[in-house]
Amino acid sequence: MNGETFVPISDLAYRAMKLTAVAALLVALPLAARADTPAPSCDTPLDLIRLINPLSHVGHKLSAGVPVTIVAIGSSSTAGAGASSPAKNYPSQLAVELNSRFPHSPITVLNRGVNGEEVADMLKRFDQSVLAAKPDVVLWQLGTNSVIRDHLLVDRGAAIREGINKIRAIGADVVLIDPQYAPRVIVKPEAQHMVDLIAATAKAEDVDLFRRYEVMKRWYNDDHMTFESFVSPDGLHMNDWSYSCFAHGLALAIAEAAERPVMSATALSHMMP
């Protein structure tokens, strides 16, 4: 053939080529499998998310089939830092969850989260951001920024009580939401102290508390999820999955507390995934 010598591939060499190709495929498969791995299930046991007090004001509105307004005030984890889009933050997803559960009462969730704020910053805009909307319930997420900045609440919860009193003055229900369980939070010595202070203030003022810290801690300790599964790469903010699961649990808690006289905890448990 034009002076060229043709050397046939031996059977042994052919098999070696096939083995190399198969090995390359096997190396690639785990990467593809990881990309297609389904999101973990959202486990929200009722005993962990159940609100202590009924949401009587919201319950009255829902039973009457009239519109309900919810104001979510807080910092970046209310605004939606770490979410891929505004539709993925927790107030947006909470609105979807609640409207699907109560189709006869239009429910509006107003997002009043501002990145970087602490309790004192929020109180300065309470009149405009919260009270002016005439909400039926206020979801107040607080504490995280004070923890990560090493700012102790030396007033023993007085500023939190001030906000609670402002909300009560307009007849709205109150739900406090404590910090997230995330690497940049739990590394701080005062993290647990902040969680305890918020819980003690909620108990003393007889208002509801959604224990986000314990919910996320359960994902890590009991469900054996990695932080990368539910915390953004910055080690602080939540991601699309955790915002969704947070909203799902909060919707269940609100629904149960608003309908407590007519829906038992056993009945609600059958609705849970």
User: What's the pLDDT at 39?
Assistant: 65
Amino acid at 196: D
Nearest to 70 by CA among 36, 100, 99, 40: 99
User: What's the pLDDT at 37?
Assistant: 53
Higher-confidence residue of 265 and 149: namely 149
User: What's the pLDDT at 15?
Assistant: 46
3-state DSSP assignment of residue 175: strand
The CATH homologous superfamily to which domain 45-269 belongs is: SGNH hydrolase (3.40.50.1110)
User: What's the pLDDT at 29?
Assistant: 35
In angstroms, rounded to a whole number, what is the distance separating the alpha carbons of residues 258 and 53? 9
In angstroms, rounded to a whole number, what is the distance separating the alpha carbons of residues 207 and 159? 15
User: What's the pLDDT at 205?
Assistant: 97
Question: pLDDT, tens digit, for every residue of 156-180?
Answer: 899 999 999 999 999 999 999 999 9
Alpha carbon 20 to chain centroid distance? 46
The first and second tokens of residue 239, run together, are 């991601």
Please, are residues 60 and 217 in contact by the beta-carbon 8 Å criterion? no
| CB neighbour list of residue 9: distance below 8 Å, 6 or more residues apart | 17
In angstroms, rounded to a whole number, what is the distance separating the alpha carbons of residues 249 and 272? 9
- pTM value? 0.82
**Beta strands per DSSP E along 64-170:** 68-74, 107-113, 137-141
Question: pLDDT, tens digit, for every residue of 8-66?
Answer: 444 544 444 444 443 343 333 333 333 445 567 897 788 999 999 999 999 999 999 99
Mean pLDDT of 68-75: 98
DSSP string covering 105-129: S-EEEEEEE-TT--HHHHHHTHHHH
Give the side-chain half-sphere CA count within 13 A for 149. Answer: 11
User: What's the pLDDT at 44?
Assistant: 79
In angstroms, rounded to a whole number, what is the distance separating the alpha carbons of residues 201 and 266? 29
- Residue 238's pLDDT band (cuts 50, 70, 90): very high
Please, are residues 178 and 198 in contact by the beta-carbon 8 Å criterion? yes
**Window from 8-12, 218-222, 257-261 with minimum mean pLDDT:** 8-12
**Window from 20-29, 80-89, 146-155, 240-249 with minimum mean pLDDT:** 20-29
Question: pLDDT, tens digit, for every residue of 101-142?
Answer: 999 999 999 999 999 999 999 999 999 999 999 999 999 999
Q: What are residue 124's phi and psi, to 5 degrees?
A: -65, -25
In angstroms, rounded to a whole number, what is the distance separating the alpha carbons of residues 119 and 74? 8
Q: What are residue 203's phi and psi, to 5 degrees?
A: -65, -45
Q: What are residue 270's phi and psi, to 5 degrees?
A: -70, -15
